[in-house]
Amino acid sequence: MAPRGSTANEKDPYPPAGPASHVVAISTESGIRRVSCSGGRALSLHVLGGVVPGIGIANVLAAVWAVAPPVVTRARAARERRWKEGKLPGRVSMASATRHFARVATRTTARNAFAVAPRQAFRQQGRRWYSSEPAQKSSSTWLYLTGAAAAGGLGYWYYTASGAPSAASTKVVNPTKEDYQKVYNEIASRLEEKDDYDDGSFGPVLLRLAWHASGTYDKETGTGGSNGATMRFAPESDHGANAGLLAARDFLAPVKAKFPWITYSDLWILGGVCAVQEMQGPIVPYRPGRSDRDVSACTPDGRLPDATQGGDHLRNIFYRMGFNDQEIVALSGAHALGRCHTDRSGFEGPWTFSPTILTNDYYRLLIEEKWQWKKWNGPKQYEDKTTKTLMMLPTDMVLVQDKKFKPFTEKYAKDNEAFFKDFSAVVTKLFELGVPFAQGTEGQRWTMKPTWDESK
């Protein structure tokens, strides 16, 4: 199933923000006017859902001047309100703090809460509506000149307040651990901005993006892996296994714009590291050094696991990357997070009762719960007999059906610390597959500090 919104354009769909094109969005009581200026030459006015190219600069500036003062006032008020609410990077809102404490509590109680009602799977998606009105006319030369000043000031405010890269961020040449920590913190600050996305966190889909970007590696040919971030391009973005990952790439786009010095491939992996750690998982050492590649480096379809298959298929996929049976079982523990979607994989539902908290519940449920085939019109999947709200895939059930996989599944079901230790090691290995790191950097992995860690 191809992801919605995929692009076949070989050009980078998420270029870093720069001076080549500026858009000033002017919000008024009656709608939105937008003035676009490309390279300081061609201007166009976006009104009534259309574009009027080559419109006179006088009319454009008059329109800007007419609405600039109230817009700036409202913008300042909105920004001050966001600071007070703690929604700007570097601050923690009360809602986020409440969710954090709830997660800690969930982590200690979810293992004994098979009967606890899970969050609703249905998430209503809102739609954004736009309206516009024609620009005001004016023949005053003074109005045009002062309007130009207002446009410049408003454009500068909009460009800086919207998270565009500052001069300081674009001058990073040899990024340090502290520079990557800032990127990590930015990602963490955005994870729970939208309560209506899945279970309230983008963490699971970021981990899936990092895993799918890395899981294409072939040790025999040396192709694939996280180096390159080739999922930016079709056909790789259209592979069925990557359906739904446009949401993760779009989520990271403003982070890339704010920190243009980081490569997409390093950013995607850092997003996966951040997701694991911010969802109460183990520390995952991070080593940067990946480079971005073009569409010619896209990998063929079929390198990622097919959830409908059995043990032989799993071994073929993971052995190709260089993993053994124990590592296959440990890496499967990522299914403790997130859920399946019918419009992506075709399957539906979460694996655990706490899909935004990483624990060993995935293994405990596999061992202790009784599972049955789900009666529905979708692909074959299992559901728990107790609540009928959880699901397991055929590839999940293989971990208890296969005599070589099962001992590791039982081990992790009994020992969360053992799972964390092995999960951290195997995820670190996965994220570095096929990356041509500089010689001598094997032991130079960095520990990114979780934002919930208050120790110095």
Q: Taking a C-beta distance cutoff of 8 angstroms, is the pair 165, 16 a contact?
A: yes
Which of 344, 346, 333 has the alpha carbon at shortest distance from 374?
346
- Contact in structure between 248 and 202 (CB atoms under 8 Å): yes
Q: How far is CA 248 from CA 206, 217, 243, 272, in A?
A: 6, 20, 11, 10
- Assess whether 335 carries a catalytic annotation: no
User: Does the bond joining 89 to the residue before it have cis omega, within 30 degrees of 0?
Assistant: no
Q: Which of 22, 212, 335, 341 is catalytic?
A: 212
Burial class of residue 264, CB neighbours in 10 A (0-12, 13-18, 19+): buried
Closest-CA residue to 270 (of 214, 341, 331, 195):
214
The sign of the torsion formed by the CA atoms of 154, 156, 158, 161 equals negative
**How many angstroms separate the CA atoms of 256 and 272, rounded?**
15
Tokens 């979810």 belong to residue: 110
Q: Identify the CA nearest to 179 among candidates 68, 94, 261.
A: 261
Select which of 65, 268, 351, 371 is catalytic.
Answer: 351
Two tokens, residue 154? 């408003």
DSSP 150: H
Angle at 80 between CA 453 and CA 23, to 5 degrees: 100
Residues annotated as catalytic (active site), given as ranges: 212, 351
